[in-house]
Structure 1
Amino acid sequence: MSDVTPQSIRFLLSDMDGTLLLPDHSLSQRTIEAVRSLREAGVLFSLATGRPPKAMLQQIEALGVDLPTAAFNGGTIVHPDGSVLVAHYLPATAALTALALFADQADVEIWVFSGGDWLLKDPSGPMVPREQHGLGYPPVVVESFEPYLTRIDKIVATSHNTQLLIELEAQLLPKVEGQAQVSRSQPVYLDVTAMLANKGAALATLADFLGVPLEQTAAMGDGGNDPAMFHRAGLSIAMGQAEEAVKRQADVVTGANTEDGAAQAIEQYILNVD
C-alpha cells in the first residue's frame, strides 16, 4: 500500500476505456467535472491508452487535456498539436510471429495499426462495429499486412472468446520475449506492441518531460496493460470492475467505471474531497 498523500500528487496519468469512459465510450458529467477540478487544483492530467492518437481527440477536447498523451499503450506519445514526442514500432520479426499465431485461430480477428490507420483483411468481422464506434473512424481493408511491417504501432487479436485470448497471450509471450509487450488491454483485446511501448515507460517519459518526480505521480486504469504504470507511479488506482489480477497490483481500488469510479478516485485520493 502506498504511503503517498493526496497533497503530494502533481500528475495523474489515466487510462481511457474502462476507466474514464462508460461502456458506451462516453464521458459522464461527473468525470468531466472531476478532471476540471483536478486541473484547477494545479494537478497535471493526461491520458494513456491502447487507442491510436486520432481516436483520442474527442476525449482530449472534452477533458481539456493540454499535455502530451500516450497512444498505443505508450508506443506513441504526441503533443497536443499532433507532433510526435516519442514513437516505438513493433519489430518486424515479432510482428510476423504474432500474425502467424493469430492467423491459425478461427475465432480471432486480426487488426494492425500503422501510420494512424486501422488495417484489417475482413471488414465483416463481428468485432468491427464495436471498434469503429469506439475509434470514431472506419478501417482500411488490405490484402496483406506485409507492406506495413516496418511501421507497425500495434497488433490486436480480438475475440469474444476471452479464454482463447488468455491462452494466446501465454503462448505468444515466450515467442517474443525481449522483442515485444503482450497484454490484454480489455478482456476481448490482446495487444502486441514494442518493448518500450508500455504505459510504465510512458508515465516515466511524461513525468520527466513535465519535471515531476515519479513518487508524485498517480496512475489509474482497469486493464492488463495498466499495471506497467501502476508499478512506476507513486499512487496506483484500479477500477472496481478490473480483473482481480489487476486490482492486486494497485495501491487502492475505486468504484467501477459504471459508478463514476474515476471521479470517485480523483475526489477521494487526489483532491481529498470529503
Structure 2
Amino acid sequence: MKTDDIARHNARGEPTGTVRLVVTDMDGTLLTPEKQVTHATLDAMAKLRARGVPVCLVSSRAPHGITMYFDALKIRTPYAGLNGAVIFDADGNMISSLCLEAGAVRAAVDMFDVHEVDSWLFCGNDWIVRDASAGYVPHEKRVIRTTPHEVKDFTPWEGKVGKLTGSSADYDLLERMEGEIGQMLEGQASVARSAPYYLDITPPEANKGHALRELGRLLHVPVEEIACIGDMRNDIPMLAVAGLAIAMGNASDEVASYAHVQTDTNEADGWAKAMEEFVLPRVPAAGA
C-alpha cells in the first residue's frame, strides 16, 4: 500500500463485534470471474440464513441483472441496482429512484464520444445503446441476459438516466477519465469504475453507501451492525461506513485501505471465506 492508503487503513478503527445484516457487491465479489456462484458460497449463504442474517445485493447492474440470481442464492431481500440509483424492497417494489440531470448526461456522453468510449444509458430496467454489436455490449448481454434497445439518438432518454456507463478496452483511459469526469461533474454526479472496462456515472446521492443505509433502514438494522464486502472503487462509499468492511483479495490497495479486513480473491472463494472467518463469528446467538 502507498503511504496514504496505509494511513487511511490505520485510521479506520475497530470493526463491529455484532453483525445482523450482510450487504454485498456482486461482480468481482459474490460471483466468480465467470459470473457463477460456487458451492462454498451457497454453503455460506445457508449458514447465514440459518443464523437469521439476511444478505442484500447491491450492484452497478440493472435490476434484472441482480434478481436473476435470487433463485440460486435462495434469497428474497431488498436490493439496490445502478450503484444505488434504484432501490427495491423484498417484494420487488421500487422505493427509491434517482436520475441524473440531462445536462450532466450530455456533457459526459460528449466526453466519451471525443475519446471513442461507448456510452450506455440505464433507465430503470431499460438499457439503451447506439450499437448493439459494439465493444462490450455482446459481453454484457450474456452476463445480465438482457437485450439493449438500440437507438440513434439519446436525446429522448436523457432525463430518465439512473446510470450512464462508459465502456472501453482501454483501461488506462477509463482510469484517467474517472478523475476528469469526476472533476467536471463534481456536485452533479458520482463517478467510479465498477470494472476496469466500465466507468459508471450516477446521481450524486446514488452510491453504495446510500444503498447500504437504505437497505439497513428497510430491515431495521443500524449501519454499525452491517457487514459489507466489495472489490472496486464504486464499493468505497459502503466500505467507508459499514460496521464491518471487507475487501476482496482482488481489490486494489486503495479500495482495501477503506476496509477493516481483507479476504481471498473471487477466484478462490474469497466471499465464502470472509463469511466463515469474519462474519459468522460476529453473529449474535439466537435470542441475543
TM-score normalised to the size of structure 1? 0.95
Which residue in 2 is equivalent to 1:165?
174
Deviation at 1:85, TM superposition (A): 1.2
Deviation at 1:132, TM superposition (A): 0.8
1:130-149 equivalences under 5 Å are 130-149=139-158
Identity of paired residues, percent? 37
Which residue in 2 is equivalent to 1:206?
215
SS class of match (1:220): strand
Deviation at 1:4, TM superposition (A): 3.2
Compared CA separation, residues 70 and 115, structure 1 to 2 (3 A): closer
Structure 1 unaligned residues grouped into runs of 5+: none
Q: Does 1:77 align with 2:87?
A: yes
Q: Report how many residues are paired.
A: 271
Deviation at 1:242, TM superposition (A): 1.1
Deviation at 1:137, TM superposition (A): 1.4
Deviation at 1:2, TM superposition (A): 4.5
Q: Which of 120, 132, 135 in structure 2 is aligned with 1:126?
A: 135
Deviation at 1:82, TM superposition (A): 2.6
Q: Does 1:49 align with 2:59?
A: yes
Which residue in 1 is equivalent to 2:14?
3
SS class of match (1:164): helix
SS class of match (1:160): coil
CA displacement 1:36-57 (0-9 Å, x = unmatched): 2112111121000000111112
State how far apart, in whole Å, the 1-side matches of 2:125 and 2:174 are.
25
Worse overlay, 89-98 or 45-54: 89-98
State how far apart, in whole Å, the 1-side matches of 2:56 and 2:87 are.
11
Deviation at 1:27, TM superposition (A): 0.6
Which residue in 2 is equivalent to 1:21?
31
State how far apart, in whole Å, the 1-side matches of 2:124 and 2:175 are.
28
Which residue in 2 is equivalent to 1:95?
105
Question: Which residue identity lines up with residue 227 of structure 1 in the other structure?
Answer: I
State how far apart, in whole Å, the 1-side matches of 2:135 and 2:188 are.
30
State how far apart, in whole Å, the 2-side matches of 1:16 and 1:142 are.
29
Q: Does 1:151 align with 2:160?
A: yes
Question: Which residue identity lines up with residue 23 of structure 2 in the other structure?
Answer: L
The question of whether the paired residues in 2 share the 8 Å contact of 1:23 and 1:258 is answered with: yes
The question of whether the paired residues in 2 share the 8 Å contact of 1:70 and 1:202 is answered with: yes
> What RMSD in Å do the two structures reach over aligned CA positions?
1.3
Worse overlay, 123-132 or 216-225: 123-132
Structure 2 unaligned residues grouped into runs of 5+: 1-11, 283-288
SS class of match (2:187): coil
